């Protein structure tokens, strides 16, 4: 007899067919005020959950007494309360690795766009303000040969370091909970404390997960440590930085510029000062947003749920260490 699974995000037909081959699938196209009541009712018989971009807190999951596994179509797990799931012995599966290279491409695009003022200069052309040869007032900053400091040398951090060192001859230094010998061997990366990294890096790229320990990790004091010529890149989670402190740093010239793919509130409000600053390049959280990678993420999440409900959480379980 097939188990009941609840899908709360639209997925490609191929992935849906694979889910339906293994489970009885109930589908919700996102959760909103109009369907939330029906969603909560459907949770009563649900043994598996799969989806993304919806907060699945304890208040919601209390309606799912039969839940055996959840699978998020993301590498980030902040939509779920991991200790709560562990208390109920429910594994949360996620999709690391499949998006590493694509997200690293996005973050390095931010580095390049910000350093060369690409968005600002493109807008100048579009708006008809390019009326003479480019002057010093419009010069950008070199990337090659500079120092890149990475806070959080995980899989994506490593992929960014690879592009920077091998492609742009950049010096790599990093701050992390533990040493990453592979990065040190492959890219001659230097391991150091965060304060030293902030003071000496030309580019600072934050790639840490959002945890109680990393929330507001970068604020007024940290921006003040950076070089005035430093460019700050955030591809982790918006709440890892103090956004108002960043706005102040950009406005006051504490740092040169910032490139951001994530924000405290998403979508970023149109009246945010970040939208008006020429020295801020803002992307709409497109880190993994290519057709190929998003498809691979969905298929990975489907396989994760199939494996978990069959008792195999050996691969891609985000809270494995917390389970009983």
Assess whether 86 and 44 both reside in one domain.
yes
19 domain-assigned: yes
Assess whether 309 and 276 both reside in one domain.
no
Assess whether 126 and 236 both reside in one domain.
yes
324 pLDDT higher than 90: no
Q: What is the pLDDT of residue 201?
A: 98
32 domain-assigned: yes
pLDDT band at residue 261, thresholds of 50, 70 and 90? very high
Assess whether 231 and 301 both reside in one domain.
no
Q: What is the pLDDT of residue 1?
A: 82
Taking the CA atoms of 195, 198, 102 and 288 in sequence, report the sign of the dihedral they define.
positive
Assess whether 104 and 93 both reside in one domain.
no
Q: Which residues are annotated as catalytic?
A: 237, 266, 285
Report yes or no on whether pTM surpasses 0.75.
yes
Over residues 145-149, the mean pLDDT reads 98
65 domain-assigned: yes
Assess whether 108 and 186 both reside in one domain.
yes
In the structure encoding, which two tokens stand for residue 230, read together?
A: 């430093």
259 pLDDT higher than 80: yes
pLDDT band at residue 260, thresholds of 50, 70 and 90? very high
- What is the rounded distance in angstroms from the CA atom of residue 222 to the CA atom of residue 217? 8
Assess whether 205 and 252 both reside in one domain.
yes
Helix (H, G, I), strand (E, B) or coil at 83: helix
Q: What is the pLDDT of residues 263-318, one digit of tens each?
A: 999 999 999 999 999 999 999 999 999 999 999 999 999 999 999 999 999 999 99
Q: What is the pLDDT of residue 2?
A: 92
Q: How many domains does the chain have?
A: 2
226 domain-assigned: yes
Q: What is the pLDDT of residue 76?
A: 87
Q: What are phi and psi of 33, to 5 degrees?
A: -60, -30
Q: What is the CATH number of the domain that holds 306?
A: 3.40.50.720
Assess whether 296 and 151 both reside in one domain.
no
Assess whether 34 and 136 both reside in one domain.
no
Q: What is the pLDDT of residues 67-84, one digit of tens each?
A: 999 999 999 898 999 999
Residue 261: name the closest of 289, 242, 290, 299 by CA: 289
Assess whether 230 and 298 both reside in one domain.
no
Assess whether 239 and 210 both reside in one domain.
yes
287 domain-assigned: no
Q: What residues contact residue 115 under an 8 Å CB cut-off, 6+ apart?
A: 140, 141, 142, 143, 203, 231, 257
Q: What is the pLDDT of residue 303?
A: 98
Residue-range definition of the domain harbouring residue 75: 3-97+292-322
Assess whether 226 and 317 both reside in one domain.
no
Q: What single string gives the DSSP state of each residue in 161-200?
A: HHIIIIIH--EEEEE-SS--HHHHHHH-PEE--HHHHHHH
173 pLDDT higher than 90: yes
Q: What is the pLDDT of residue 48?
A: 98
- The per-residue pLDDT of the chain, averaged, comes to 96
Q: What is the pLDDT of residues 100-146, one digit of tens each?
A: 999 999 999 999 999 999 999 999 999 999 999 999 999 999 999 99
- What is the rounded distance in angstroms from the CA atom of residue 175 to the CA atom of residue 245? 21
7 domain-assigned: yes
């Amino acid at each position: 007899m097939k188990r009941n699974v609840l899908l709360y995000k639209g997925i490609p037909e191929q992935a849906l067919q694979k889910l339906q081959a293994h489970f009885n699938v109930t589908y919700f196209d996102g959760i909103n005020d109009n369907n939330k009541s029906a969603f909560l009712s459907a949770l009563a018989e649900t043994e598996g959950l799969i989806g993304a971009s919806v907060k699945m807190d304890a208040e919601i999951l209390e309606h799912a007494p039969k839940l055996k596994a959840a699978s998020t179509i993301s590498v980030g797990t902040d939509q779920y309360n991991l200790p709560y799931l562990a208390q109920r012995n429910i594994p949360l599966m996620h999709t690391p690795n499949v998006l590493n290279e694509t997200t690293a491409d996005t973050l390095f695009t931010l580095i390049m766009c910000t350093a060369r003022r690409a968005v600002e200069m493109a807008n100048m052309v579009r708006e008809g303000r390019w009326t003479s040869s480019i002057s010093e007032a419009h010069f950008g900053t070199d990337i090659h040969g500079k120092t890149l400091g990475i806070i959080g040398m995980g899989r994506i951090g490593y992929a960014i370091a690879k592009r920077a060192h091998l492609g742009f001859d950049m010096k790599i230094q990093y701050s992390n909970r533990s040493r990453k010998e592979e990065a040190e061997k492959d890219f001659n990366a230097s391991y150091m404390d965060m304060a030293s990294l902030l003071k000496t890096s030309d580019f600072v790229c934050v790639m840490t997960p959002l945890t109680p320990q990393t929330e507001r990790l970068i604020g007024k004091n940290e921006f003040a440590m950076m070089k005035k010529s430093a460019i700050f890149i955030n591809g982790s989670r918006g709440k890892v930085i103090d956004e108002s402190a960043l706005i102040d740093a950009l406005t006051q010239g504490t740092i040169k510029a910032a490139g951001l793919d994530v924000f405290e509130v998403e979508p970023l409000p149109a009246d945010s000062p970040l939208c008006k600053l020429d020295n801020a390049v803002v992307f709409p959280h497109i880190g993994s947003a290519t057709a190929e990678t998003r498809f691979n993420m969905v298929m990975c999440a489907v396989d994760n749920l199939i494996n978990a409900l069959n008792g195999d959480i050996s691969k891609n379980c985000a809270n494995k260490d917390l389970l009983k």
